Amino acid sequence: MFRIEDECDYCGQSYYAERSTKKYCSDSCKTMACRKRKSDSEQALLLLQKFKQDQETHQRWLDEFIESNRIEKIARQEQLEQEMIENQKQAEIERQKRTEDNEQRELRRLKKKQREAERSSNRPDDLIAKVIENISNQYLRNMSDNTYNEIIKDGLMDSKRE
């Protein structure tokens, strides 16, 4: 009978095999090896599943990170735009205020000029009016009663003699 010395693939003990295709020393080692293979493949499957889950988780994290970055970027951009609009509004308000200030200043300047013009133009008129009044009073005082009465009657003057 052909016999060959071999080591059991499961327990590692030496035994004499009758066929070269035999791998185990006993039926029990064969069964255990079968269970172990099954368990190994289950383990491998579990590992593979876990690996896939991890990969999905990492992808999700990456997606979330990219999304949150995108949202943050948009928010930052919106904030910048808002700030720009606010600055423009503020600049417009200041510009209007400056314009109003300028208008007020111009108005004040014009009024002052007008007052000055009125004062300077009134002064000689007042003086002339006073002189004329004095002269006419003197004239009225010196004229004869008849002439005075005629002047009053004709309505040339409306003042009474002092």
Of 11 and 17, nearer to Zn ion (C-beta) is 11
Of 12 and 124, nearer to Zn ion (C-beta) is 12
Of 11 and 152, nearer to Zn ion (C-beta) is 11
CA 48 to chain centre: 50
**What is the binding site for Zn ion (CB under 5 A)?**
8, 10-11, 25, 29
Give me the least distance between CB of 44 and Zn ion, in Å please.
23
Give me the least distance between CB of 24 and Zn ion, in Å please.
5
Of 9 and 103, nearer to Zn ion (C-beta) is 9
Give me the least distance between CB of 43 and Zn ion, in Å please.
22
Total Cβ atoms within 10 A of residue 102: 10
Contact 17, 6 (CB under 8 A): yes
Give me the least distance between CB of 47 and Zn ion, in Å please.
27
What φ, ψ does residue 112 adopt, rounded to 5°? -60, -45
Integer Cα distance of 89 and 97 in angstroms: 12
Integer Cα distance of 130 and 134 in angstroms: 6
